[in-house]
Amino acid sequence: NAGVMQNPRHLVRRRGQEARLRCSPMKGHSHVYWYRQLPEEGLKFMVYLQKENIIDESGMPKERFSAEFPKEGPSILRIQQVVRGDSAAYFCASSQGTGGLGNTQYFGPGTRLTVL
Amino acid sequence: AQSVAQPEDQVNVAEGNPLTVKCTYSVSGNPYLFWYVQYPNRGLQFLLKYITGDNLVKGSYGFEAEFNKSQTSFHLKKPSALVSDSALYFCAVRDMERAAGNKLTFGGGTRVLVKP
């Protein structure tokens, strides 16, 4: 059973370019979460999605960041017009459900974004 | 609002000695509590969680954690540490109340160094 998959693992962008990060949840999981980890810091929640719906985007920056989880295909975190401060590791997690035993979030290997 | 504190940035322990990593939390309602481990340039691996029931939770790789409601703590323990346990450990909390959403709030992490 494959785990959470993220690609690319490493992404280098110049200031002003767009970054697209992809996440495929574990098989059977319909809940996807994105977190950001700055160097030497803990993870910060960004957004929580179910298929075709954004459930909680309280951690997303108001501008330049967007996320989607279409009916078919992976979840996408999109960062427009990247700036150096966007350099971080972006982790995707998925869960089977939200309550009780099904609420464990399993994490992917992350995408390390470097903005030059 | 929910929060997690890991008071120690680093814990050093000799191989074979007991290992404890401290975590305290704050939530409005009742907590779901989690421990994850992160190896260099890797994603987070799930170790164990507390939902309800027994206060002592056993997890992967010989780790366990004790939920203490009165002290709002969830310390991670291992009776005999291995060099391979050297990694970054994160405690996380999620409020059980539906209104709080499904996001995890992470502590800042504790680096564990096990010396041979």
Residue A103: its chain B contacts at CB < 8 A? 32, 51, 94, 102
Contact between chains at A107 and B45 (C-beta distance less than 8 A): yes
From A41, A45, A107, residue closest to B103, measured CB to CB: A45
Q: Over 60: is that where the pLDDT of A102 sits?
A: no
Look at the block and give the residue holding tokens 């481990």: B37
If pLDDT is split at 50, 70 and 90, which confidence band does B41 have? confident
Contact between chains at B90 and A91 (C-beta distance less than 8 A): no
Looking at per-residue pLDDT, the higher value among A79 and B52 belongs to: A79
From A55, A105, A110, residue closest to B104, measured CB to CB: A105
Share of chain B above pLDDT 70, in %: 97
Token pair in block for residue B113: 């160094």
The rounded distance, in Å, linking the Cα atoms of A104 and A76 is 21
List, in sequence order, the alpha helices (H) in chain B: none
Q: Read off the pLDDT of residues B62-115 as tens digits, 9 standing for 90 and up.
A: 999 999 999 999 999 999 999 999 999 999 998 777 666 688 999 999 999 999
